[in-house]
Structure 1
Amino acid sequence: MNKITLLLIAICTTCFSSCDVQSQSKLGNILNKIPATGNPTSLEIGQALKQALEIGTSKGADQLSAKDGFLGNLAVKILFPPEAQKVEKTLRSIGMGALADNVVTSLNRAAEDAAKEAKPIFLSAIKQMTITDATNILLGNKDAATTYFKRVTTAQLTEKFSPIVTSSLSKVGATKYWGDAATRYNKLPLVKPVNADLSEYVTQKAIEGMFIQVAQEELDIRENLGARTSTLLQKVFGYADKKK
Protein backbone atom coordinates (compact mmCIF):
# COMPACT_ATOMS: atom_id res chain seq x y z
CA MET A 1 0.00 0.00 0.00
CA ASN A 2 1.20 3.55 -0.61
CA LYS A 3 1.60 6.15 2.12
CA ILE A 4 -1.71 7.85 1.37
CA THR A 5 -3.65 4.60 1.76
CA LEU A 6 -1.85 3.77 5.01
CA LEU A 7 -2.57 7.24 6.35
CA LEU A 8 -6.25 6.90 5.42
CA ILE A 9 -6.51 3.59 7.25
CA ALA A 10 -4.75 4.95 10.32
CA ILE A 11 -7.08 7.95 10.53
CA CYS A 12 -10.25 5.95 9.90
CA THR A 13 -9.29 3.23 12.37
CA THR A 14 -9.39 5.88 15.09
CA CYS A 15 -12.83 7.18 14.18
CA PHE A 16 -14.41 3.95 12.94
CA SER A 17 -16.82 3.49 15.83
CA SER A 18 -18.15 7.05 15.55
CA CYS A 19 -18.64 7.15 11.75
CA ASP A 20 -22.23 7.45 10.58
CA VAL A 21 -23.71 4.86 8.21
CA GLN A 22 -23.13 6.99 5.10
CA SER A 23 -19.50 7.61 6.01
CA GLN A 24 -18.89 3.94 6.75
CA SER A 25 -20.46 3.02 3.41
CA LYS A 26 -18.16 5.42 1.54
CA LEU A 27 -15.20 4.11 3.49
CA GLY A 28 -16.20 0.54 2.62
CA ASN A 29 -16.21 1.46 -1.07
CA ILE A 30 -12.70 2.84 -0.75
CA LEU A 31 -11.44 -0.22 1.07
CA ASN A 32 -12.97 -2.57 -1.49
CA LYS A 33 -10.65 -1.01 -4.07
CA ILE A 34 -7.56 -1.92 -2.04
CA PRO A 35 -5.83 -5.02 -3.48
CA ALA A 36 -6.52 -8.21 -1.52
CA THR A 37 -2.89 -8.72 -0.55
CA GLY A 38 -1.19 -8.87 2.83
CA ASN A 39 -2.88 -9.14 6.22
CA PRO A 40 -6.08 -7.09 6.69
CA THR A 41 -6.02 -4.07 8.97
CA SER A 42 -8.28 -3.83 12.01
CA LEU A 43 -10.45 -1.43 10.05
CA GLU A 44 -10.81 -3.87 7.16
CA ILE A 45 -11.74 -6.67 9.55
CA GLY A 46 -14.44 -4.50 11.10
CA GLN A 47 -15.81 -3.45 7.72
CA ALA A 48 -15.81 -6.99 6.35
CA LEU A 49 -17.51 -8.51 9.39
CA LYS A 50 -20.21 -5.87 9.37
CA GLN A 51 -20.76 -6.29 5.65
CA ALA A 52 -20.99 -10.07 5.92
CA LEU A 53 -23.23 -10.08 8.97
CA GLU A 54 -25.58 -7.49 7.49
CA ILE A 55 -26.05 -9.75 4.49
CA GLY A 56 -26.44 -12.89 6.59
CA THR A 57 -28.83 -11.60 9.24
CA SER A 58 -30.97 -9.76 6.71
CA LYS A 59 -31.28 -12.92 4.62
CA GLY A 60 -32.11 -15.01 7.69
CA ALA A 61 -34.76 -12.59 8.97
CA ASP A 62 -36.34 -12.32 5.51
CA GLN A 63 -36.53 -16.09 5.16
CA LEU A 64 -38.14 -16.67 8.56
CA SER A 65 -40.61 -13.81 8.24
CA ALA A 66 -41.94 -15.12 4.90
CA LYS A 67 -44.97 -17.40 4.77
CA ASP A 68 -43.90 -20.87 5.92
CA GLY A 69 -40.56 -19.44 7.06
CA PHE A 70 -41.02 -21.29 10.34
CA LEU A 71 -43.70 -23.79 9.37
CA GLY A 72 -41.78 -25.10 6.36
CA ASN A 73 -38.36 -25.24 8.03
CA LEU A 74 -37.91 -28.36 10.15
CA ALA A 75 -34.94 -26.82 11.94
CA VAL A 76 -37.10 -24.09 13.49
CA LYS A 77 -40.70 -25.33 13.12
CA ILE A 78 -42.64 -24.75 16.33
CA LEU A 79 -44.52 -27.77 17.66
CA PHE A 80 -46.85 -28.20 20.62
CA PRO A 81 -45.28 -27.07 23.92
CA PRO A 82 -43.55 -30.01 25.67
CA GLU A 83 -46.14 -30.09 28.45
CA ALA A 84 -48.90 -30.22 25.82
CA GLN A 85 -47.50 -32.83 23.46
CA LYS A 86 -49.64 -35.45 25.17
CA VAL A 87 -52.61 -33.31 24.12
CA GLU A 88 -51.56 -33.52 20.47
CA LYS A 89 -50.96 -37.25 20.66
CA THR A 90 -54.35 -37.84 22.25
CA LEU A 91 -56.21 -35.60 19.79
CA ARG A 92 -54.68 -37.34 16.83
CA SER A 93 -55.50 -40.75 18.29
CA ILE A 94 -59.21 -39.87 18.50
CA GLY A 95 -59.50 -38.46 14.99
CA MET A 96 -58.90 -34.77 15.76
CA GLY A 97 -55.67 -34.42 13.79
CA ALA A 98 -57.00 -31.41 11.87
CA LEU A 99 -57.44 -29.47 15.11
CA ALA A 100 -53.87 -30.34 16.14
CA ASP A 101 -52.60 -29.22 12.72
CA ASN A 102 -54.43 -25.91 13.11
CA VAL A 103 -52.68 -25.31 16.43
CA VAL A 104 -49.22 -25.99 14.97
CA THR A 105 -49.85 -23.84 11.89
CA SER A 106 -51.10 -20.91 13.93
CA LEU A 107 -48.11 -21.04 16.31
CA ASN A 108 -45.73 -20.80 13.38
CA ARG A 109 -47.68 -18.01 11.72
CA ALA A 110 -47.32 -15.97 14.91
CA ALA A 111 -43.55 -16.55 14.90
CA GLU A 112 -43.35 -15.50 11.25
CA ASP A 113 -45.16 -12.27 12.10
CA ALA A 114 -42.72 -11.55 14.92
CA ALA A 115 -39.67 -12.33 12.79
CA LYS A 116 -40.41 -9.26 10.66
CA GLU A 117 -39.16 -7.14 13.56
CA ALA A 118 -35.81 -8.93 13.91
CA LYS A 119 -33.85 -7.32 11.08
CA PRO A 120 -33.57 -3.76 12.49
CA ILE A 121 -32.53 -5.18 15.88
CA PHE A 122 -29.73 -7.23 14.31
CA LEU A 123 -28.60 -4.36 12.10
CA SER A 124 -28.44 -2.06 15.14
CA ALA A 125 -26.29 -4.61 16.96
CA ILE A 126 -23.96 -4.81 13.95
CA LYS A 127 -23.68 -1.02 13.75
CA GLN A 128 -22.63 -0.89 17.42
CA MET A 129 -20.03 -3.63 16.99
CA THR A 130 -16.51 -2.48 17.87
CA ILE A 131 -13.34 -3.40 16.03
CA THR A 132 -12.41 -5.63 18.97
CA ASP A 133 -15.77 -7.40 18.72
CA ALA A 134 -15.25 -7.91 14.99
CA THR A 135 -11.73 -9.29 15.39
CA ASN A 136 -12.82 -11.69 18.15
CA ILE A 137 -15.69 -12.90 15.99
CA LEU A 138 -13.55 -13.35 12.89
CA LEU A 139 -10.90 -15.39 14.68
CA GLY A 140 -13.27 -17.05 17.15
CA ASN A 141 -15.39 -20.19 17.02
CA LYS A 142 -17.70 -20.89 14.09
CA ASP A 143 -20.63 -19.58 16.12
CA ALA A 144 -18.85 -16.53 17.53
CA ALA A 145 -21.13 -14.08 15.72
CA THR A 146 -24.25 -15.96 16.83
CA THR A 147 -23.00 -15.91 20.42
CA TYR A 148 -22.46 -12.15 20.12
CA PHE A 149 -26.00 -11.63 18.82
CA LYS A 150 -27.47 -13.75 21.61
CA ARG A 151 -25.67 -11.62 24.17
CA VAL A 152 -26.62 -8.21 22.79
CA THR A 153 -30.04 -8.80 21.19
CA THR A 154 -31.97 -11.39 23.22
CA ALA A 155 -33.50 -8.86 25.60
CA GLN A 156 -34.53 -6.57 22.73
CA LEU A 157 -35.94 -9.43 20.68
CA THR A 158 -37.98 -10.66 23.64
CA GLU A 159 -39.36 -7.18 24.32
CA LYS A 160 -40.22 -6.67 20.65
CA PHE A 161 -41.52 -10.15 19.88
CA SER A 162 -43.72 -10.69 22.91
CA PRO A 163 -46.57 -8.23 22.15
CA ILE A 164 -46.49 -9.13 18.45
CA VAL A 165 -46.75 -12.84 19.22
CA THR A 166 -49.60 -12.24 21.67
CA SER A 167 -51.50 -10.18 19.10
CA SER A 168 -50.73 -12.57 16.26
CA LEU A 169 -51.79 -15.65 18.22
CA SER A 170 -55.24 -14.13 18.46
CA LYS A 171 -55.23 -12.87 14.86
CA VAL A 172 -54.31 -16.21 13.29
CA GLY A 173 -56.64 -18.17 15.55
CA ALA A 174 -54.03 -19.87 17.71
CA THR A 175 -55.73 -18.81 20.93
CA LYS A 176 -59.04 -20.26 19.73
CA TYR A 177 -57.51 -23.43 18.31
CA TRP A 178 -55.50 -24.03 21.44
CA GLY A 179 -58.51 -23.27 23.62
CA ASP A 180 -60.57 -25.79 21.66
CA ALA A 181 -57.82 -28.40 21.84
CA ALA A 182 -57.24 -27.94 25.56
CA THR A 183 -60.96 -27.94 26.31
CA ARG A 184 -61.57 -31.16 24.41
CA TYR A 185 -58.54 -32.81 25.96
CA ASN A 186 -59.41 -31.71 29.50
CA LYS A 187 -62.88 -33.23 29.12
CA LEU A 188 -61.43 -36.67 28.51
CA PRO A 189 -61.60 -39.04 31.49
CA LEU A 190 -58.53 -39.59 33.66
CA VAL A 191 -56.37 -36.83 32.10
CA LYS A 192 -54.51 -34.09 33.94
CA PRO A 193 -55.69 -30.65 32.70
CA VAL A 194 -53.12 -28.59 30.76
CA ASN A 195 -52.83 -24.83 30.50
CA ALA A 196 -49.73 -23.85 28.50
CA ASP A 197 -48.72 -20.18 28.17
CA LEU A 198 -48.67 -19.99 24.38
CA SER A 199 -47.42 -16.41 24.11
CA GLU A 200 -44.32 -16.96 26.22
CA TYR A 201 -43.64 -20.30 24.55
CA VAL A 202 -43.92 -19.02 20.97
CA THR A 203 -41.85 -15.91 21.77
CA GLN A 204 -39.06 -18.10 23.15
CA LYS A 205 -39.20 -20.54 20.22
CA ALA A 206 -39.30 -17.69 17.67
CA ILE A 207 -36.12 -16.20 19.14
CA GLU A 208 -34.45 -19.61 19.26
CA GLY A 209 -35.38 -20.06 15.61
CA MET A 210 -33.85 -16.71 14.71
CA PHE A 211 -30.54 -17.71 16.26
CA ILE A 212 -30.59 -21.11 14.55
CA GLN A 213 -31.02 -19.32 11.24
CA VAL A 214 -28.30 -16.77 12.07
CA ALA A 215 -25.94 -19.64 12.96
CA GLN A 216 -26.59 -21.23 9.56
CA GLU A 217 -25.90 -17.97 7.78
CA GLU A 218 -22.73 -17.44 9.82
CA LEU A 219 -21.47 -20.91 8.89
CA ASP A 220 -22.17 -20.16 5.22
CA ILE A 221 -20.17 -16.93 5.43
CA ARG A 222 -17.23 -18.73 7.02
CA GLU A 223 -17.14 -21.83 4.83
CA ASN A 224 -18.70 -20.91 1.48
CA LEU A 225 -16.20 -19.15 -0.74
CA GLY A 226 -19.04 -18.07 -3.00
CA ALA A 227 -20.49 -15.99 -0.16
CA ARG A 228 -17.41 -13.76 -0.21
CA THR A 229 -18.71 -11.42 -2.86
CA SER A 230 -16.21 -8.56 -2.58
CA THR A 231 -12.45 -8.14 -2.55
CA LEU A 232 -12.64 -7.03 1.07
CA LEU A 233 -14.56 -10.14 2.18
CA GLN A 234 -12.17 -12.39 0.27
CA LYS A 235 -9.15 -10.74 1.88
CA VAL A 236 -10.45 -10.76 5.45
CA PHE A 237 -11.99 -14.23 5.49
CA GLY A 238 -9.06 -15.62 3.56
CA TYR A 239 -6.87 -14.28 6.35
CA ALA A 240 -9.13 -15.97 8.92
CA ASP A 241 -8.82 -19.28 7.03
CA LYS A 242 -5.05 -19.11 7.29
CA LYS A 243 -5.20 -18.40 11.05
CA LYS A 244 -7.18 -21.61 11.75
Structure 2
Amino acid sequence: MIIKKFPIVFGLATVMLFSQCDVLNEIASGVVNTEGGTTTSIPKLTNDEVISGLKEALTIGIQNGANLASMTDGFFKNDIIKLPFPEDAIAIRDKALELGLDTQVNKIELTLNRAAEEASKKAAPIFIDAIKGMSIGDGFAILKGGDNAATTYLKEKTTAKLVTAFEPVVKNAIETVKLTEYWNPVASKYNLYAKFAGKTEINPDLNQYVTNKGIDGLFYMVSQEEKKIRKDPTAQVTDLLKKVFGSVMN
Protein backbone atom coordinates (compact mmCIF):
# COMPACT_ATOMS: atom_id res chain seq x y z
CA MET A 1 0.00 0.00 0.00
CA ILE A 2 2.82 2.39 0.83
CA ILE A 3 4.50 1.75 -2.48
CA LYS A 4 1.24 2.45 -4.33
CA LYS A 5 0.70 5.79 -2.58
CA PHE A 6 4.23 7.11 -3.04
CA PRO A 7 4.00 8.05 -6.75
CA ILE A 8 0.78 9.93 -6.07
CA VAL A 9 2.31 12.05 -3.31
CA PHE A 10 5.39 12.62 -5.40
CA GLY A 11 3.25 13.69 -8.32
CA LEU A 12 1.37 16.24 -6.22
CA ALA A 13 4.61 17.63 -4.84
CA THR A 14 5.94 17.93 -8.36
CA VAL A 15 2.85 19.82 -9.49
CA MET A 16 3.09 22.17 -6.51
CA LEU A 17 6.78 22.74 -7.16
CA PHE A 18 6.23 23.65 -10.82
CA SER A 19 3.28 25.86 -9.85
CA GLN A 20 5.48 27.83 -7.44
CA CYS A 21 8.16 28.17 -10.09
CA ASP A 22 5.62 29.55 -12.55
CA VAL A 23 4.53 32.23 -10.07
CA LEU A 24 8.13 33.19 -9.36
CA ASN A 25 8.84 33.40 -13.07
CA GLU A 26 5.80 35.66 -13.58
CA ILE A 27 6.88 37.95 -10.76
CA ALA A 28 10.39 38.13 -12.12
CA SER A 29 9.09 39.00 -15.58
CA GLY A 30 6.84 41.75 -14.19
CA VAL A 31 3.52 39.95 -14.78
CA VAL A 32 1.26 38.83 -11.91
CA ASN A 33 -1.96 36.82 -12.22
CA THR A 34 -4.92 38.43 -10.47
CA GLU A 35 -7.74 36.49 -8.86
CA GLY A 36 -9.87 36.96 -11.95
CA GLY A 37 -7.26 35.29 -14.12
CA THR A 38 -6.21 38.50 -15.94
CA THR A 39 -2.65 39.79 -16.01
CA THR A 40 -1.35 43.21 -15.03
CA SER A 41 1.92 44.51 -16.39
CA ILE A 42 4.14 46.32 -13.92
CA PRO A 43 5.95 49.11 -15.81
CA LYS A 44 9.63 49.39 -15.10
CA LEU A 45 10.50 53.07 -15.40
CA THR A 46 13.95 54.50 -15.88
CA ASN A 47 14.93 57.97 -14.72
CA ASP A 48 15.32 59.04 -18.35
CA GLU A 49 11.77 57.94 -19.11
CA VAL A 50 10.44 59.86 -16.13
CA ILE A 51 12.31 63.01 -17.17
CA SER A 52 10.95 62.69 -20.72
CA GLY A 53 7.46 62.19 -19.31
CA LEU A 54 7.72 65.26 -17.08
CA LYS A 55 8.89 67.41 -19.98
CA GLU A 56 6.12 66.06 -22.19
CA ALA A 57 3.55 66.92 -19.51
CA LEU A 58 4.91 70.46 -19.22
CA THR A 59 4.94 70.87 -22.99
CA ILE A 60 1.32 69.81 -23.26
CA GLY A 61 0.55 71.97 -20.25
CA ILE A 62 1.90 75.16 -21.79
CA GLN A 63 0.26 74.44 -25.14
CA ASN A 64 -3.14 74.01 -23.53
CA GLY A 65 -2.57 76.78 -20.99
CA ALA A 66 -1.40 79.32 -23.55
CA ASN A 67 -4.37 78.53 -25.77
CA LEU A 68 -6.74 79.28 -22.90
CA ALA A 69 -4.86 82.37 -21.73
CA SER A 70 -4.65 83.86 -25.23
CA MET A 71 -8.41 83.77 -25.73
CA THR A 72 -10.35 87.01 -25.33
CA ASP A 73 -10.81 87.48 -21.57
CA GLY A 74 -8.37 84.61 -20.92
CA PHE A 75 -6.67 86.84 -18.38
CA PHE A 76 -9.28 89.53 -17.81
CA LYS A 77 -12.06 87.21 -16.65
CA ASN A 78 -9.86 84.78 -14.76
CA ASP A 79 -9.68 86.26 -11.27
CA ILE A 80 -6.60 84.23 -10.38
CA ILE A 81 -4.36 85.49 -13.20
CA LYS A 82 -6.04 88.82 -14.01
CA LEU A 83 -3.63 91.77 -14.14
CA PRO A 84 -4.72 94.51 -11.73
CA PHE A 85 -3.64 98.15 -11.92
CA PRO A 86 0.16 98.22 -11.38
CA GLU A 87 0.95 98.09 -7.67
CA ASP A 88 3.48 100.92 -7.83
CA ALA A 89 0.97 103.15 -9.63
CA ILE A 90 -1.97 102.89 -7.23
CA ALA A 91 -1.58 106.62 -6.52
CA ILE A 92 -2.27 107.32 -10.21
CA ARG A 93 -5.39 105.16 -10.13
CA ASP A 94 -6.71 106.76 -6.93
CA LYS A 95 -6.13 110.30 -8.21
CA ALA A 96 -7.69 109.46 -11.57
CA LEU A 97 -10.79 108.10 -9.84
CA GLU A 98 -10.90 111.23 -7.69
CA LEU A 99 -10.89 113.29 -10.88
CA GLY A 100 -13.74 111.24 -12.31
CA LEU A 101 -11.63 109.30 -14.79
CA ASP A 102 -13.26 105.97 -14.01
CA THR A 103 -13.68 105.03 -17.67
CA GLN A 104 -10.00 105.63 -18.38
CA VAL A 105 -8.91 103.60 -15.36
CA ASN A 106 -11.13 100.68 -16.38
CA LYS A 107 -9.82 100.89 -19.92
CA ILE A 108 -6.23 100.72 -18.68
CA GLU A 109 -6.93 97.60 -16.60
CA LEU A 110 -8.72 95.94 -19.51
CA THR A 111 -5.93 96.77 -21.95
CA LEU A 112 -3.25 95.49 -19.56
CA ASN A 113 -4.99 92.14 -19.71
CA ARG A 114 -5.47 92.35 -23.46
CA ALA A 115 -1.70 92.80 -23.74
CA ALA A 116 -1.11 89.66 -21.66
CA GLU A 117 -3.63 87.74 -23.77
CA GLU A 118 -2.01 88.94 -26.98
CA ALA A 119 1.47 87.99 -25.77
CA SER A 120 0.22 84.53 -24.76
CA LYS A 121 -0.43 83.75 -28.41
CA LYS A 122 3.33 83.42 -28.87
CA ALA A 123 4.20 82.06 -25.42
CA ALA A 124 4.16 78.31 -26.10
CA PRO A 125 7.33 78.07 -28.26
CA ILE A 126 9.25 80.21 -25.76
CA PHE A 127 8.22 77.99 -22.85
CA ILE A 128 8.80 74.79 -24.81
CA ASP A 129 12.35 75.91 -25.63
CA ALA A 130 12.97 76.44 -21.91
CA ILE A 131 11.44 73.05 -21.09
CA LYS A 132 13.63 71.23 -23.61
CA GLY A 133 16.75 72.93 -22.28
CA MET A 134 15.88 72.34 -18.63
CA SER A 135 18.20 69.95 -16.80
CA ILE A 136 16.55 67.48 -14.42
CA GLY A 137 18.61 65.19 -12.22
CA ASP A 138 16.18 63.09 -10.19
CA GLY A 139 13.00 62.75 -12.19
CA PHE A 140 11.43 60.40 -9.67
CA ALA A 141 11.58 63.07 -6.95
CA ILE A 142 9.51 65.44 -9.09
CA LEU A 143 7.18 62.67 -10.27
CA LYS A 144 6.40 61.75 -6.67
CA GLY A 145 6.09 65.38 -5.59
CA GLY A 146 2.95 67.49 -5.30
CA ASP A 147 0.30 68.18 -7.92
CA ASN A 148 2.41 70.93 -9.52
CA ALA A 149 5.93 69.76 -8.66
CA ALA A 150 7.09 69.82 -12.28
CA THR A 151 5.70 73.32 -12.86
CA THR A 152 7.35 74.57 -9.68
CA TYR A 153 10.67 73.13 -10.82
CA LEU A 154 10.25 74.70 -14.24
CA LYS A 155 9.52 78.08 -12.65
CA GLU A 156 12.57 77.91 -10.41
CA LYS A 157 14.93 76.92 -13.19
CA THR A 158 13.72 78.96 -16.18
CA THR A 159 12.01 82.19 -15.06
CA ALA A 160 15.01 84.44 -15.77
CA LYS A 161 15.40 82.95 -19.25
CA LEU A 162 11.67 83.25 -19.92
CA VAL A 163 11.57 86.92 -18.90
CA THR A 164 14.37 87.76 -21.32
CA ALA A 165 12.72 85.87 -24.18
CA PHE A 166 9.18 87.05 -23.42
CA GLU A 167 9.85 90.79 -23.07
CA PRO A 168 10.03 91.54 -26.83
CA VAL A 169 6.78 89.64 -27.35
CA VAL A 170 5.08 91.68 -24.63
CA LYS A 171 6.41 94.92 -26.10
CA ASN A 172 4.82 94.07 -29.45
CA ALA A 173 1.61 93.06 -27.70
CA ILE A 174 1.44 96.37 -25.84
CA GLU A 175 1.82 98.21 -29.14
CA THR A 176 -0.83 96.00 -30.76
CA VAL A 177 -3.48 96.71 -28.13
CA LYS A 178 -2.38 100.37 -27.85
CA LEU A 179 -1.96 100.27 -24.08
CA THR A 180 0.23 103.38 -23.91
CA GLU A 181 -2.46 105.42 -25.67
CA TYR A 182 -4.74 104.83 -22.70
CA TRP A 183 -2.01 104.97 -20.08
CA ASN A 184 -0.08 108.10 -21.02
CA PRO A 185 -2.88 110.71 -20.66
CA VAL A 186 -3.81 109.45 -17.17
CA ALA A 187 -0.19 109.17 -16.03
CA SER A 188 0.62 112.64 -17.42
CA LYS A 189 -2.25 114.23 -15.52
CA TYR A 190 -1.14 112.59 -12.30
CA ASN A 191 2.51 113.56 -12.76
CA LEU A 192 1.51 117.16 -13.45
CA TYR A 193 -0.41 117.16 -10.19
CA ALA A 194 2.48 115.43 -8.38
CA LYS A 195 4.94 118.04 -9.60
CA PHE A 196 2.99 120.90 -8.05
CA ALA A 197 1.97 118.94 -4.96
CA GLY A 198 5.53 118.00 -4.13
CA LYS A 199 4.88 114.29 -4.69
CA THR A 200 6.95 111.75 -6.56
CA GLU A 201 6.14 111.36 -10.24
CA ILE A 202 5.31 107.82 -11.31
CA ASN A 203 6.26 106.16 -14.57
CA PRO A 204 6.14 102.37 -14.09
CA ASP A 205 7.66 100.07 -16.68
CA LEU A 206 4.50 98.61 -18.18
CA ASN A 207 6.50 96.26 -20.39
CA GLN A 208 8.17 94.66 -17.38
CA TYR A 209 4.91 94.62 -15.44
CA VAL A 210 2.96 92.78 -18.15
CA THR A 211 5.92 90.45 -18.76
CA ASN A 212 6.20 89.36 -15.13
CA LYS A 213 2.46 89.10 -14.53
CA GLY A 214 1.92 87.35 -17.84
CA ILE A 215 4.56 84.72 -17.09
CA ASP A 216 3.11 84.18 -13.61
CA GLY A 217 -0.31 83.66 -15.16
CA LEU A 218 1.02 81.18 -17.69
CA PHE A 219 2.81 79.21 -14.97
CA TYR A 220 -0.49 78.97 -13.14
CA MET A 221 -2.19 77.65 -16.27
CA VAL A 222 0.58 75.05 -16.71
CA SER A 223 0.22 73.97 -13.08
CA GLN A 224 -3.48 73.34 -13.60
CA GLU A 225 -2.76 71.23 -16.67
CA GLU A 226 -0.09 69.27 -14.79
CA LYS A 227 -2.53 68.56 -11.97
CA LYS A 228 -5.06 67.32 -14.54
CA ILE A 229 -2.51 64.96 -16.10
CA ARG A 230 -1.60 63.58 -12.68
CA LYS A 231 -5.18 63.02 -11.57
CA ASP A 232 -7.15 62.22 -14.73
CA PRO A 233 -6.17 59.25 -16.91
CA THR A 234 -8.03 60.78 -19.86
CA ALA A 235 -5.60 63.70 -19.76
CA GLN A 236 -2.67 61.30 -20.23
CA VAL A 237 -2.93 61.57 -23.98
CA THR A 238 0.29 59.79 -24.97
CA ASP A 239 1.70 56.36 -24.17
CA LEU A 240 4.60 57.94 -22.31
CA LEU A 241 2.28 60.01 -20.09
CA LYS A 242 0.21 56.90 -19.35
CA LYS A 243 3.32 54.94 -18.40
CA VAL A 244 4.96 57.65 -16.29
CA PHE A 245 1.98 59.22 -14.52
CA GLY A 246 -0.05 56.02 -14.49
CA SER A 247 2.70 54.52 -12.32
CA VAL A 248 1.97 56.95 -9.48
CA MET A 249 -1.81 56.66 -9.78
CA ASN A 250 -1.86 52.92 -9.01
Identify the TM-score tier after normalising by the shorter chain: 0.7 to 0.9
Q: Matches of residues 1-244 of structure 1 in structure 2 within 5 Å? A: 37-42=41-46, 43-128=48-133, 132-188=137-193, 190=197, 192=199, 193-230=201-238, 232-242=240-250
Give the drift of 1:224. Answer: 2.7
- Structure with the bigger RCO (C-alpha within 8 Å, sep 6+) is 1
Aligned 8 A contact 2:76 2:110 in 1: yes
Q: Deviations over 1:194-239 (max 9, x none)?
A: 2212111111111111111111112222223432345553443232
- How far has the Cα of 1:94 moved from its partner? 3.6
Question: Per the alignment, in what secondary structure is the counterpart of residue 71 of structure 1?
Answer: coil
- Following TM superposition, by how much is the alpha carbon of 1:78 offset from its aligned partner in structure 2, in angstroms? 0.8
Q: Which residue of 1 aligns with 2:13?
A: none
Corresponding residue number in structure 1 for 2:7: none
Sort the Cα spacing of 1:103 and 1:133 in 2 relative to 1 into closer, same or farther, 3 A. farther
**1:202 aligned counterpart, secondary structure:** helix
Aligned with 1:57: secondary structure? Answer: helix
CA gap 1:126/1:183 in 2 versus in 1, 3 angstroms: closer
Paired residues, number: 210
Distance 2:170 2:127 in 1: 19
Q: Which has the larger radius of gyration?
A: 2
Quickly say closer, same or farther: Cα 1:151–1:180, change in 2 above 3 A.
Answer: same
Of residues 132-141 and 215-224 in structure 1, the stretch that sits farther from structure 2 once superposed is: 132-141
Q: Once the 2 structures are TM-superposed, how far is the Cα of residue 133 of structure 1 from its aligned partner?
A: 4.7
TM-score normalised per structure 1: 0.73
Q: Distance in 2 between matches of 1:190 and 1:92?
A: 17
Q: Structure 1 pair 191/206, CA: closer, same or farther in 2 (3 Å)?
A: farther
How far has the Cα of 1:54 moved from its partner?
Answer: 2.5
- Is the Cα contact below 8 Å between 1:117 and 1:160 reproduced in 2? no
Could you tell me how far 1:130 is from its partner in structure 2?
A: 6.1
CA–CA distance in structure 2, aligned partners of residues 69 and 172 of structure 1: 15
| Identical columns (%) | 40
TM-score, normalized by length of structure 2? 0.71
Displacement of 1:59: 0.2
Long gaps (5+) in structure 2: 1-28, 30-38
* Aligned partner letter, 2:208: E
- 2:58–2:151: 8 Å Cα contact kept in structure 1? no
Contact in 2 for aligned 1:37/1:235 (Cα 8 Å):
no
- RMSD, matched Cα: 2.8
